[in-house]
A and B are shown apart, each in its own frame.
Chain A
């Protein structure tokens, strides 16, 4: 039990009469790289949205590190330790790269500084700002964006924007990182690089990663365990090789 970081029990949600997700049971162990795959409309992003508190599940429970976080707000869940990236990139476009990461660091206990302290420019404010910048640079180094830190984030190429989203999520110091199609729109070279980065994140930050991805090479090359979804239900679960070669899964993807 102790090394299970995320557990969902019988998770389900319906919109109107439509069951978007039902009876999803996941168990993700610490430092695991876990893949969530499935055809479009299978409910993968919906699961992410439930896990991060965007939707309240209709049935079932979510446990993070043994603690029930079902139905908590996005902010609380983030503070408890789940951070995510988005399928359609959601950066703070008017900000520089480093500022995006600084926003991620905002609620870290070691960078606490009250609004009043900032308004009065107490020494604490300067100390915290300096420490935050150092930390942000460190995180940018891990994802390989240190050079671009003063660029406006909207001017970054697509692949780097995805990396910046990961950096911002990392900055919130999560226990579990959710990546929604991190390799979408990347060329093979960038995809390889991303695989290295994800592994490095796991090793350097002791991170557990749950990711949605359509690139099967990426999934099978990276993930220790995979859950395949179709029409909101679990089709197969197991190691990448097992799950992806399951005849049901092949039928769901290729048809027939």
Chain B
């Protein structure tokens, strides 16, 4: 029993340990002065990507709703958090550790305001499904960006962008990875609890979840809120990491980039999201330094090709046999037993982004939907 318990614990905490080791190793290197600031900047970027990917994976991978507006929440966090610290910093100048206090307060402000927006976007999520929700979240992101772009120079910098106070890079790096750990802890603990079961139940079959007494409204709102909270926190981090916030950064392309991390990492797999976020951010950064000038566009081309090939390879029904034969997991385990799949791991082809009415309706008589109250449209 004790043996079994330690085994489970190792499996559950391996990603915390990995992140902690990275933090300690690079942290000590940084304080020893052995890391160039470009490396620290890259590490911060990776931390931000991980927070974004893990928080989005809650919505897409576990709740099964498609969101294309994650950058919008990040944008809210970046601007409000950045602005808060820019205001607080001079006020707290005389106070000991004033700068750090300003940082913490601005993280809270950025996160909380983004979370409030998450609730607002969560409300349509209660009525809309799949592609419709995706376009609404995309629209939300674009609205936020457009609003911040047109603010005055005094308020949020407008087209010039908002400048944020500069922090010690070493300190910021530690904060970033601590936040990664917090984000991981909250997400994983939630997913690996009865609440996580309820959330995945909504993803797998919303109608059955309702009939089983699950409070779908509560959980959808909760997931959107928590997810956007962390997106906001990532935004605040971003604003410090870059010293400047430009609204152009937060277009839907960036939301899609985060979505790609989640999808390539494997839906419903937090570790996958972490790995994909790290790799993509690292590759992005490396290619950016290697391919300069006119060659820079090759990076996008490469990115696009890799994306297409990976998605087709992973999903094409025609390649199913091939995939099963050369399954990495199967090769490692020798024997692949589909019955012992991990509980939280969703299968790609089962995550619905669109619910067909025929599938939803199992009544004796097909009702004339147009005459019904729109509320009932998603009924059984």
Q: Note whether A and B contact each other (Cβ less than 8 A).
A: yes
- Bound together, the chains give a CA A25 to CA B157 distance in angstroms of 68
- Bound together, the chains give a CA A91 to CA B268 distance in angstroms of 18
- Bound together, the chains give a CA A107 to CA B219 distance in angstroms of 13
Instruction: Assess A121 versus B189: contact at CB under 8 Å? Given A20-B365, A20-B367.
Output: yes
5 closest A-B pairs (Cβ-Cβ)?
A: A15-B367, A78-B213, A118-B193, A16-B368, A90-B208
B355 to chain A, nearest CB (A): 12
**Structural contact, A83 and B211, CB atoms closer than 8 A:** yes
Q: Kindly state whether residue A242 has any CB partner on chain B within 8 Å.
A: no
Q: Mark B188-206, 1 if CB is under 8 A from A, else 0.
A: 0110011111101101110
Q: Kindly state whether residue A103 has any CB partner on chain B within 8 Å.
A: yes
**Structural contact, B200 and A94, CB atoms closer than 8 A:** yes
**Structural contact, B365 and A41, CB atoms closer than 8 A:** yes
Contact of B365 (CB < 8 Å), options: A15, A113, A125: A15
Contact of B212 (CB < 8 Å), options: A20, A45, A168: A168
A46 to chain B, nearest CB (A): 5
List residues of A (31-45) whose CB comes within 8 Å of B's CBs: 40-45
> How big is chain B's contact interface, by range?
35 or more
Contact of A43 (CB < 8 Å), options: B210, B346, B364: B364
Instruction: Assess A94 versus B346: contact at CB under 8 Å? Given A18-B368, A45-B362, A45-B364.
Output: yes
**Structural contact, B379 and A155, CB atoms closer than 8 A:** no
Which residues of A have CB within 8 Å of B379? 49, 54-55
Q: Mark B359-380, 1 if CB is under 8 A from A, else 0.
A: 0001111111001100010011
A29 to chain B, nearest CB (A): 24
Measured CB to CB, the residues of B under 8 A from A are 185-186, 189-190, 193-198, 200-201, 203-205, 207-216, 222, 268, 338-341, 343, 345-347, 350, 362-368, 371-372, 376, 379-380
**Structural contact, B364 and A44, CB atoms closer than 8 A:** yes
Q: Kindly state whether residue A10 has any CB partner on chain B within 8 Å.
A: no
**Structural contact, B204 and A93, CB atoms closer than 8 A:** yes
Which residues of B have CB within 8 Å of A90? 205, 207-208, 211
Measured CB to CB, the residues of A under 8 A from B are 15-16, 18, 20, 40-46, 49, 52, 54-56, 73-75, 78-79, 83-84, 86-88, 90-96, 99, 102-104, 106-107, 111, 113, 115, 118-121, 125, 128-129, 132, 150-152, 155, 168-169, 171-172
**Structural contact, B339 and A94, CB atoms closer than 8 A:** no
- Bound together, the chains give a CA A168 to CA B198 distance in angstroms of 13
Contact of B214 (CB < 8 Å), options: A75, A111, A113, A152: A75
A113 to chain B, nearest CB (A): 6
- Bound together, the chains give a CA A43 to CA B205 distance in angstroms of 24
- Bound together, the chains give a CA A92 to CA B344 distance in angstroms of 11
- Bound together, the chains give a CA A94 to CA B346 distance in angstroms of 6
Beta-carbon nearest neighbor of B347 in chain A: A94
**Structural contact, B362 and A93, CB atoms closer than 8 A:** no
- Bound together, the chains give a CA A104 to CA B205 distance in angstroms of 13
**Structural contact, B212 and A172, CB atoms closer than 8 A:** yes
- Bound together, the chains give a CA A55 to CA B201 distance in angstroms of 22
Contact of A129 (CB < 8 Å), options: B193, B339, B340, B365: B193
Tell me the dominant secondary structure on chain B's binding face. Answer: helix
**Structural contact, A106 and B380, CB atoms closer than 8 A:** no
- Bound together, the chains give a CA A49 to CA B347 distance in angstroms of 30
**Structural contact, B208 and A91, CB atoms closer than 8 A:** yes
**Structural contact, A15 and B189, CB atoms closer than 8 A:** no
Which residues of A have CB within 8 Å of B203? 94
- Bound together, the chains give a CA A89 to CA B193 distance in angstroms of 25
B300 to chain A, nearest CB (A): 34
A229 to chain B, nearest CB (A): 9
**Structural contact, A119 and B210, CB atoms closer than 8 A:** no
Which residues of B have CB within 8 Å of A84? 211
Give 7 new A-B contacts, CB below 8 A, not counting A43-B365, A92-B201.
A49-B380, A52-B211, A75-B210, A78-B212, A92-B208, A106-B198, A119-B185
**Structural contact, B190 and A118, CB atoms closer than 8 A:** yes
**Structural contact, B208 and A41, CB atoms closer than 8 A:** no
* Max chain B C-beta neighbours (<10 A), residue from A16, A43, A83, A121: A16
Instruction: Assess A79 versus B213: contact at CB under 8 Å? Given A49-B379, A119-B186, A152-B339.
Output: yes
Contact of A95 (CB < 8 Å), options: B214, B343, B365: B343
**Structural contact, A88 and B362, CB atoms closer than 8 A:** yes
* Max chain A C-beta neighbours (<10 A), residue from B190, B345, B363: B363
Contact of A94 (CB < 8 Å), options: B190, B193, B350, B366: B350
**Structural contact, A115 and B205, CB atoms closer than 8 A:** no
Which residues of B have CB within 8 Å of A150? 339-340
- Bound together, the chains give a CA A40 to CA B362 distance in angstroms of 12
Which residues of A have CB within 8 Å of B200? 92, 94-95
**Structural contact, A95 and B201, CB atoms closer than 8 A:** yes
- Bound together, the chains give a CA A118 to CA B305 distance in angstroms of 41
Which residues of B have CB within 8 Å of A132? 194
| 6 chain-A/chain-B pairs, Cβ below 8 angstroms | A45-B362, A90-B205, A94-B203, A104-B212, A118-B195, A169-B212
Which residues of A have CB within 8 Å of B198? 103, 106
Which residues of B have CB within 8 Å of A118? 189-190, 193-196
**Structural contact, A16 and B211, CB atoms closer than 8 A:** no
**Structural contact, B345 and A94, CB atoms closer than 8 A:** yes
**Structural contact, A111 and B194, CB atoms closer than 8 A:** yes
Instruction: Assess A15 versus B211: contact at CB under 8 Å? Given A49-B363, A150-B339.
Output: no
